[in-house]
Amino acid sequence: MEEKTSFLKNKIDFDSPNKNIMPITSSIDNEGKLRIGGCSIEELVKKYDSPLYILDETTLRNSCKAYKKALERYYPGESLPIYASKANSSIFMSSLIASEGFGLDAVSEGELLTALKGGVPTEKIVFHGNNKSDKEIEFAVQNNIKIIVDNDHDLKRLEKISNFLNIDLEIMVRFTPGIECHTHEYIRTGSFDSKFGFGLEYLKTLFKVISHTKHLKLNGLHAHIGSQIFELDPHKDLGEIMVNVILEAKKYGHDIQELNVGGGLGIKYTQEDDPPSIDEWVKTISFSVIKACEKNKITFPKLMCEPGRSIVSTAGVTVYKIGAFKEIPGIRTYLSVDGGMSDNPRPITYQSSYSACLVSNPLNLNSRNKYTVAGKHCESGDVLFKEIELSDCNTGDLICVFGTGAYNLSMSSNYNRIPRPAALLVCNGEADIIQKRESPHDLLKYDVLPNRFIKQS
């Protein structure tokens, strides 16, 4: 019988998976080896090779249900959680979140098309982006997808399209609320200095401009204050700021019926991380909006939020095979794996930290060695871990890295012409491919050799 455990014997939080390091179905079999979703990781690698992305369906669905239940519990008005698909975009993920009653946000035609192919209803999709192309805007309009206006460039083109087609278009406006959170500067999107959204000081002019358009109907506001957030206090202020903007918009004849408060709830990547629960985050946001609405005696708007990382990150792991060792006496020992920055660019990009264990020794028993885990790419900075403690390991052993469901596959590349890994879904002892492994030959599909070079050869 398998003994269920979380990383380093921590208690598993089934109601808020973002507070765990491991997927909630993680367990140790009778041989002391790691399993996820009832599947042996060693057997999965034998069948599907490595590196390998694995997503746990139970963790994904529990995360979705946690948002739905919390919104129903704390917010008296209509609500809609919207999956931020940039975290992990695929037909499978679109299908899963649609089955859980979620909407989806997209920032490109590719993400929009993926959402539609996955069965997300068009009325539950919103289209973001600070530099949408004409082609992308036309695609969204043709498919009745609501567009979130990010700047004047967006607004002018939408006015032109709506006039040309002689149809009314419902739009939302994104603005920067000026709330700063303690997070990495590259992913801080709610401060005054941001490439996203209109500044607060410009909103009066913006509302006046929209009121003079013929077919643009402003019925929603959007604000987002950051990513991987562990603080609740900034969200206590967000509701009042957004409701004040509703009141300002009303002066110009706009009936705001939808508030989208963005996402950004953090997850537990390492033992030191202590994010709020999904329930706590939703409660804070809901009460903030409720308090502001009651204070100003306005009807509760439809409340939207956009979780991404906190839905998919903890559900995902990446499995690598150990290759070469290099000991530099008195300095460090390098342990190289068969992947790296092409399947997880976050450590080299953001200096992001993760947790990991040997598949054959997930509890890290008798650990006495520290390794620097290096990727196989031709970059000195391709390092996944600096000085991670592991028990004795050898070439051919497997390392499982946790919390890789978000921004790993979606940000992956073919640097050094290395193919992307396969991705699997695991549940109740079964594994299904949700993305095929690329081959080196796949990478040549879009290369074109000019005719004059062919003639020369």
SS3 state of residue 32:
coil
Q: What mean pLDDT value characterizes the chain?
A: 94
Q: How far is CA 264 from CA 187, 192, 285, in A?
A: 10, 17, 12
At 1, the pLDDT band (50, 70, 90 cuts) reads very low
- For the record, the structure tokens of 259 come out as 């508030």
In this prediction, residue 189 carries a pLDDT of: 60
In this prediction, residue 182 carries a pLDDT of: 60
- Average pLDDT for 72-78: 98
Contact 397, 358 (CB under 8 A): yes
- Average pLDDT for 225-230: 90
- For the record, the structure tokens of 427 come out as 């549940």
Q: What confidence tens digit (pLDDT) does each residue in 180-222 have?
A: 666 555 555 655 778 999 999 999 999 999 999 999 999 999 9
CATH 2.40.37.10 for domain 38-56+316-443: yes
Domain positions in the chain: 38-56+316-443, 58-312
Q: How far is CA 17 from CA 11, 74, 278, 336, in A?
A: 11, 19, 8, 30
CATH 3.90.870.30 for domain 58-312: no
At 3, the pLDDT band (50, 70, 90 cuts) reads very low
- Average pLDDT for 380-388: 96
Whether the predicted pLDDT of 6 surpasses 60 = no
Q: Average the pLDDT over each of 118-132, 292-306, 353-367 and give the range with the smallest value.
A: 353-367
In this prediction, residue 365 carries a pLDDT of: 79
At 173, the pLDDT band (50, 70, 90 cuts) reads very high
Distance CA 359, CA 35 (A): 8
**Catalytic: which of 181, 378, 393, 400?**
378
In this prediction, residue 46 carries a pLDDT of: 98
In this prediction, residue 454 carries a pLDDT of: 85
In this prediction, residue 178 carries a pLDDT of: 83
- Average pLDDT for 221-229: 92
Residues of the chain above pLDDT 90, percent: 88
Q: What confidence tens digit (pLDDT) does each residue in 95-144 have?
A: 999 999 999 999 999 999 999 999 999 999 999 999 999 999 999 999 99
Q: Average the pLDDT over each of 225-234, 243-252, 421-430 and give the range with the smallest value.
A: 225-234
Active site residue 378: yes
In this prediction, residue 311 carries a pLDDT of: 98
Q: Tokens 């709020």 sit at which residue?
A: 276
The beta-strand segments (E) located in 51-94 are: 52-56, 79-84
Q: Tell me the pTM.
A: 0.94
Q: What element of type H or E holds 17?
A: none
Burial degree of 295 (CB within 10 A; 0-12, 13-18, 19+): exposed
Whether the predicted pLDDT of 56 surpasses 90 = yes
In this prediction, residue 312 carries a pLDDT of: 98
In this prediction, residue 184 carries a pLDDT of: 58
In this prediction, residue 69 carries a pLDDT of: 98
The amino acid sitting at 411 is: M
Contact 319, 357 (CB under 8 A): no
Q: What is the DSSP string of 153-194?
A: HHHHHHHHHHHHHT--EEEEEEEE-----SS-GGG--SSSS-
Which of 99 and 1 is assigned the larger pLDDT?
Answer: 99
- Average pLDDT for 422-448: 97
Q: What confidence tens digit (pLDDT) does each residue in 239-293 have?
A: 999 999 999 999 999 999 999 999 999 999 999 999 999 999 999 999 999 999 9
Which of 193 and 87 is assigned the larger pLDDT?
Answer: 87
